Structure 1
């Protein structure tokens, strides 16, 4: 699946609209640390790998900006455990 994911730094958010439903990752940036606070994929579009693709996009964005990532969101914690290729940002 290839999503059109937007990074909205003014809202501290990554988002994608799928079939009219807004999927999002909220974060807070402090001292070059992106605290991932919340991942939301509405039930109506769940089960398609949307959260995983959005999380990958967020982690790639953090890496490209040389930010560290502090996962507060349980989904992001689990994703990082399953994807050791992102230890450079964790």
Structure 2
């Protein structure tokens, strides 16, 4: 598995490859804002911290781009609530 979270703008999602599986964090973009709408982690990878690695990597990229976050996705919202270092990103 690689810890490299990549942005796939054509599909409007961040991706984390884990073996033959992909964990996904879907988003929409508006000027200066990214709205996370849904996160998917394959059942086979549940409980391994894959979702947290995906969220962390995606939010680091969002910070680097200077975007604010609207966390409509419950997983991303909960991740930000548990990781105060990302609270400043919330719009």
Tell me, yes or no, whether TM beats 0.5: yes
> Would you say the 8 A contact 1:62–1:68 is kept in 2?
yes
State the match for 2:87 in structure 1: 87
Which structure 1 residue ranges, 4+ long, deviate > 2 Å from structure 2?
none
SS state at 2:14 partner: strand
- What is aligned with 1:33? 33
Structure 1 gaps of 5+ residues are none
Q: Deviations over 1:16-69 (max 9, x none)?
A: 221211210000011111100111001111111010011011111111111000
Q: Runs of 5+ in structure 2 lacking a partner? A: none
Paired residue total: 90
TM-score (norm 1): 0.91
Distance in 1 of aligned mates of 2:49 and 2:79: 12
**TM-score normalised to the size of structure 2?**
0.90
Alpha-carbon distance between aligned partners in 2 of 1:13 and 1:32, rounded to the nearest angstrom = 17
CA-CA distance at 1:2 after TM superposition: 5.3
